[in-house]
Structure 1
Amino acid sequence: MANVVDMLFSYLFISRQVTCVLLFIALAHTQNTVVFQPSRLTATGPTVTALLLGHTADSSLIVRTVSPSNTTGSIGSPSCRGDVTQWVLTTEQVGKTAVRVQLRLEKNLRLCGENETDTDCCPKPLCVLETLQVSACVGGTPQASLLIQVKIHALLVPANAGSDNKTVIPNQVYQPLGSCPCDLTFRACDVRCCCDKDCSIEDLKLFASHCLPGPFGGQVSPAPDYQCSAQSSENSPDWFPFLCVNSPPENNPYLGLFYQGNTIKSKPGSSFQSPVLSAPLPVSAYIQGSPIFSLNDQYFTIPQKMFGQCVNNAPAAFLKDFNVKCVNVLRSCPTGFPLQTLPTDLSVEVKNGQGGDVIVDVIDEVAIDMSQFISSTDVTSDEGLVCENVTLALDYKFYWKGNAITSITLTHTVGTITLNSSVALTTRYSAVFLNGELMGEPNSGNPGYQVGRPVIAGTLDTLDNNTGSVQRTSINVWKPVSDGLCSTAEMKPVLFGENSTSGCLLPVSRQNLTQCDLLREAVTSLQAALITATYVAKSGNPDPLTMTDWLNISFVTLNSSTNTEDTTSSCNGVPSHQHIHVWSLITGMVEGIPQRDIRVLQISYSLSPWELDCGGGGVSPCLDPLETKLFPITSSVTFTDIPINTGPPKTRFQVNFTEYDCNRNDVCWPELAFPITKYYTGEPYSQSLAKGLILVFFFITASILGTPWRQIRQAWT
């Protein structure tokens, strides 16, 4: 059984690698050339799978065995001349531009016996050790190659695997278990049982680093700390020789698990099925974050993203906006929710939070431009399976007032999709909460900022009556995506209390470095696009009409007086780094949660020289004036807590004199008479003082009447 489990683990590991390789199909782009994905593999089992991507219509596959050169150590260039190998090559078309290539070993991995003459077995434990090269050839010319390093060990299958021979274990009530509890198979090597006498030295090398631990593998657990043999003379405490336990190591408590006794039924383990959710508890009035309920006391659900995955039945929360996109690969027309919806699925009755209900008003729209929903337009054509009324977007608008929902409007966008092979469909789901006709502004705390919420900023907008109103915006840092270039990079808001550093890459050529003023202006405009605000909110719920709730953002002016010496291949003083420094202060506690306010927000720039480095092998940017080199543009944010001033500074006597300080001294003399001091609050002070004086009286009386005073009186007389 142990051998079969070990073989299953090997196949599961290979299957996981195959699954990871198949994921590259969604990422591969159609090309005129062919390429193996991956281009190198290490095989430990009898099956190897890879993908051939690109234009594979005229390609033929050739397999041969290769070996590294004795002089250079390299494999050599691919060849279209095949060899006779012990591998069978099969292919399977999995798409227009992808072919699954599979190699299967035509050899029995059973270890040969001592006098066995059958050649279809492994003479050594290391059964197969070779290097294969699979070449994709077009007209006798290799276009791509796959290199496979094969290292397969023989399966440890005993000769009498079909028998029921087991190791005879004596009655454990009267005899201790043997020194090797994992030796379960009679006259055969048990996998991972390093104490099995039937295992040869070659067998032990296969699992020497994966032996069964503890007493199950014949290894007695370490002696506990109370054992006399566990402590040495160097680190043993003073009391140890008198209180330690002297017991032989064979008397291990874990061996009691092997004794015969009453059978204990095992409890069922954790299930990988979806958990059973408890019935929802409807609320009388909605508050921020509480789930929205339908009229039949069920969660009102909208497709959302949970932990990076799209969930079709996720509960919608009151006053929680979201906008998500889900990608689905369609190979046939959808039949269920949410891609195919009925009027009863969308026009539902929802509790309004005041004892009544509202009905979702559905507005149907037909999408004309399908480019924003279908990312793989090359796989669609006029001929194919036509899917009508496919849901492309569900946009909800919740109108609320107080703790109630006044109305719900849903814009249901549908379209027609033509399926030729498969289509990558991107659907959009969103929900916004509008107070009247205005969108509710999300806060970052009440009142102080909470860690992980966005920092609120804004710009001043002067109204008609000369009063100022701050329009909310955000302070951003770089969020590189895709290739990491600044042209494709996005922005992400600064989250309170979370330090971060990010950036993007800007391609710069030698021609750009000859126009340093334009280059500095371009970098400055890129950094300025991150922060368009001039004010920052002190607290997490600022009032846009109250200017005392906002602070001016201080910008550190660039030092233009610095002498910059620009050359034909370098520019100095480039504002490549933008740093945001936020100072915050804890102003109080609300229900045990500290409330933090922003006191200062400063934005500074670091100037750095940009120049072309033509050393080594990268000399092309210095020769070609249009050849570009990537330079980093970074942004960072740092939060600093301002310490709270607890009072006037201590004097030198208070700092240095610690003899009577119980917090900083091991000996605390004021606590010697603690029951009769004012710090003792266990009972009234008068009672503790009276009891203390009575104890002092008894102590003096016992001292006078005791033996020492009697001897003194006798000596005196």
Structure 2
Amino acid sequence: MVKVVVVLSFLLFCWADSTHLVFQPSFIIATGPRITTFLLGNIKDVSLNVRKVFPSNVTGSIDPPSCAANETLWIVTKELVGTNALRVNLQLNKSLHLCGDNETDCCPKPMCVLESLQVSACVANAVQASLLIQAKIHAHLISAFPTTDNQTVIPNQVYEPLGSCPCDLTARTCDIRCCCDKDCSPEELMLFQSHCHPGPFGGQLPLVPDYHCSAQRDNSPDWFPFLCVISPPENNPYLGLFYNGDKIIPKPRPSFQIPVLSEPVFNTYRQGNPIFTLDDQLFTIPQMAIGHCVDNAPVAFLENFSHKCVNLLNSCPTAFPFRTLASDLRVRVNNGQGGDVTVIVRDELIGDLSQFLSNAVVNPDESLVCDNVTLALDYTFYWKRNHITKVILIRSVGTVIFKGSVDLTTRYSAVFLTRDYVGESNSGNPGYQVGKPVIAGIKRTQNTAFSVQRTSINLWKPVRDGLCFTAEKQPVLFAMNSTSGCHLHVSLQNLTQCDLLRATVGSLQTNMITATYVANKGNPNSEKEADWVKISYMNSSNSLEVGDGSCGGIPSHIHISIWSLVTETTEGTAQSNIQAIQVRSTLSTWTLDCGGGDLSPCADPTETQMFHVTSSVTFIEIPIHHGPPKTRFQINFTEYDCNKNDVCWPHLAFPLTKYYTGEPHSQALAKGLILLFFFIAASLLGTPWRQIRQAWNSSSRAVIRDY
């Protein structure tokens, strides 16, 4: 399909005579189901009619324009775009796929539509302007045969989520640090060969273990085929690491011999699919990609993100994304059902730019003043089922004042909401992954059934000056012990109001952890109570003494203790769950230090000293087995210890031991006993047993002859 879009400049609008009507252009050859043109001039009381026209068999000319319309397959709509301009849209009301058995709304042959149309602009049944359209539209040809060698074969993304080289993100270009990129020359690889992307993202899949049947070598023992492990390559601990969503099955695609459709047929949105605008362009928002900020990065459906970009400004910005217009941001987004939704733009004025500027030097006489600088673009997508219902953009703008240069930090985010629920990403499947955020939640009170709204438990993240009022939050990461804090300026006057000081510090610490539950696994169900563990809050004892220049009972430190347990192992990867969590507040006494000859803090009520407000987290792993302590003989007898010897005799029958986790132990034991039975039967019925019987018979005959 080809959609004809005519873009008129401002001069063309000014040139149009306000007393006449004219179509621009006046003749169109259409090859797609959508046609767009403009009607310029005095558009008051204008009606539009469309009809099919036929050339004369004698002269070849077409009948003159008429205000009498006839029935066609086209729907005409109009949209006011200016004082003297209309956008005229024609939409084909017919399916473009080839007819099958007992189908009516379809194309009987590949040349689906071949006709001439005439659009007339009428005022009081008098033709003022006309447009001639020649429509030549082919049917959508989808191959019903299996894919051949000359067709593009799409791999199953469940098993090959990003292909053999996941970090190869740019076609026909060498990606930095991507050592498996075939576009990189040997000279380019030498520049970053020692800094390749590690792990599966860099194409480094785990090696085949020695006990796998595919690892057999020429020097492998004869019994290796009987004791090796058969496991399909799809059983990989990294399965799903780059894949998020439903199973994607390759569909038949047009071969290279069939004309390629110029405009793709749009399907409904699925998780991870890119979002498109109404004119079939990718909907983009500035984002971070491989350490760099990209101004036009596509947005994926149901994929939340939040990025910060730091840029050096030497002058006032004039282009996107630092200078934006509301008209440019009101993009018409394809909603996934054939319609569109327009982005709603709401402006927010930022007065305090301390979170956005750094290294700024302000001089009232020589400073540069930049108005209406875009500081943040926060998108909220409302969705239902597999389509978008509404898009709201909060654009934060402010006035940037600096001298020379300044580091400007801009923020960009996208959140998908449905029924007031934020689509959060999981931290494991099913157990927690190391380094992923610990998932917390607050129980919803308006529901009678158990339901949790996701949130996070946080620690202090000091920035810039390290003060508590400018510090940020950082989530607690699983299995990552951490300690952080900030500074609070306290004066003698503050220490005379201990209740207010305790309340202030307590409020700062309480804002770090507002959750009441924590998820015991990495992919919890928000409505299943068994997936959540209640947080235990405790306070240490401390006297509330009040003296000259001192206050007691200050909750200056909170400590989070999290107990985790390895519940199972999947392909050698441990699955850890959270069993319990405790948040303890440590109360302390704050006293001004007037030693060292500096008596000003104790003499001047406004002189301040810095006190520390801290937070920490400790992960405690619960041992799996609690057996009796080993004896001295067990400790010293290491001949059969697999961890201290190259030869491990207990692993000779590997499938029968506890180390084999490819299938339940009962099944492995049963198969091993059956295999042992076959060995014994082969020994009894084979050559050794026949030789023993021959020797026995020979000795028996010799004894009989003696008698």
TM-score by length of 2: 0.47
TM-score by length of 1: 0.46
Q: Which entry has the higher C-alpha Rg, 1 or 2?
A: 1
